[in-house]
Amino acid sequence: MSLSVHWITNPEDKDLQTLRADLDPSISLTVGEQFAPASDTHILVTGFPERDHLVACPHLQALVIPFAGFPEPTRRLMLDFPHIAVYNLHHNAAPTAEMALALLLAAAKFIVPIDRTFRTHDWSPRYAPDQSVTLDGKTALILGFGHIGQRVGSYCQTLGMEVLAIRRRPGKAILPGLRASVHPPGALPELLPQADVLVITLPFTPETDGWIGAKELAMLPHDALLVNVGRGRIVDQAALFQALKERTILAAGLDVWYNYPSQTDMRQNTPPADFPFHELDNVVMSPHRGGDSTASETLRRIHLAALLNALVRREPVFNQVDVQAGY
């Protein structure tokens, strides 16, 4: 079996050479942002395919999204092409989980406001009543228990926390050594009152849009922490802002948002939400960089090569996307 693959990108020459060296010899790889559909193309690598591309490739077997997640416009398009399998990459699972842990610890220990004060040589926080949360012995509820969520669960377990989780298929295997009580989505109202920490690693789908609103936030303990490295719109922004402002939850660490710059010249002046989260001292803010690291492109190349090699060798591939569900 041989595969003809086109990746709609312009990688650095050294990265392309390394990728080709990692591929099975029976894989023919072309790259370029200007894709001229070919009748013999078997696999297209892009997160945002065009309908014309798919129609013009009669032998297309698979679409590989070279990142985690499934953009909604792409999902709607692929519903019209049920014969084309869709896969994505989870190369950023480790850095994203690490970001979740960093946000959790920063929020729990109020690192940012204390750092800001101490930079003025003000020692007052040392002598004021301490709001810092001890995580040892607490309970973490993780929404979305895939590659990222399970890593976060492992970190929480190492911190001495009990781990609860929600996933669509709770019976699926989890990481060896990870002890977690995994539940279906319908268990959310029962689990929220037990959660000292709520960590969101869910993908964005029509079903998860606004899943955590004012009602759900009110079910959390008043000193709960919330961390979101999934997608901003999974949590209703008005409800979250109000809960943080009124301290009905203690603090939050947020790496994903509601408004993003649509153009390059807007990158320095786009508020990330419709509410002034930046005015709150109980929020740690990060501009959606959880999956980024100095190793990101290397990891992407390694995972892409492994996926393509598995496909050409007819080996099991575990990261196929359910187009109907959106992840």
What secondary structure does DSSP assign to 185-228, as a single string?
GGGHHHHGGG-SEEEE-PPP-TTTTT-B-HHHHHHS-TT-EEEE
* Average confidence (pLDDT) per 10 residues, the chain, 327 residues: 90 88 93 82 94 91 92 94 94 94 98 97 94 96 96 98 96 94 98 98 92 98 97 97 98 97 94 98 96 84 94 90 86
pLDDT of residue 97: 97
CA angle 22, 27, 30 (to 5 degrees): 90
pLDDT of residue 114: 96
pLDDT of residue 123: 97
SS3 236: coil
Phi and psi (nearest 5°) for 124? Answer: -50, -40
SS3 183: strand
pLDDT of residue 265: 92
How far, in Å, CA of 252 to CA of 107, rounded? Answer: 6
pLDDT of residue 199: 98
How far, in Å, CA of 268 to CA of 265, rounded? Answer: 7
Question: What share of the chain has pLDDT > 90, as a percent?
Answer: 81
How far, in Å, CA of 260 to CA of 7, rounded? Answer: 26
Which helix or strand (DSSP H or E) is residue 16 part of?
helix 13-22
Q: Which domains does the chain have, with CATH numbers?
A: 3-91+294-312 (3.40.50.720), 93-285 (3.40.50.720)
Segment 129-174, tens digit of pLDDT: 988 999 999 999 999 999 999 999 999 999 999 999 999 999 999 9
pLDDT of residue 285: 98
Segment 311-320, tens digit of pLDDT: 999 998 888 9
Segment 54-72, tens digit of pLDDT: 998 999 999 999 998 888 8
**Which has the closest alpha carbon to 206: 321, 327, 90?**
327
**Dihedral through CA 238, CA 242, CA 243, CA 248, nearest 10?**
-160
How far, in Å, CA of 175 to CA of 271, rounded? Answer: 38
How far, in Å, CA of 65 to CA of 75, rounded? Answer: 11
Which pTM value belongs to this model? 0.89
pLDDT of residue 211: 97
How far, in Å, CA of 130 to CA of 322, rounded? Answer: 46
What are the C-alpha distances in Å from 214 to residues 217, 238, 315? Answer: 5, 8, 45
How many beta carbons lie within 10 A of that of residue 11, not counting itself?
16
How many beta carbons lie within 10 A of that of residue 25, not counting itself?
8
Report the mean per-residue pLDDT for the chain: 94
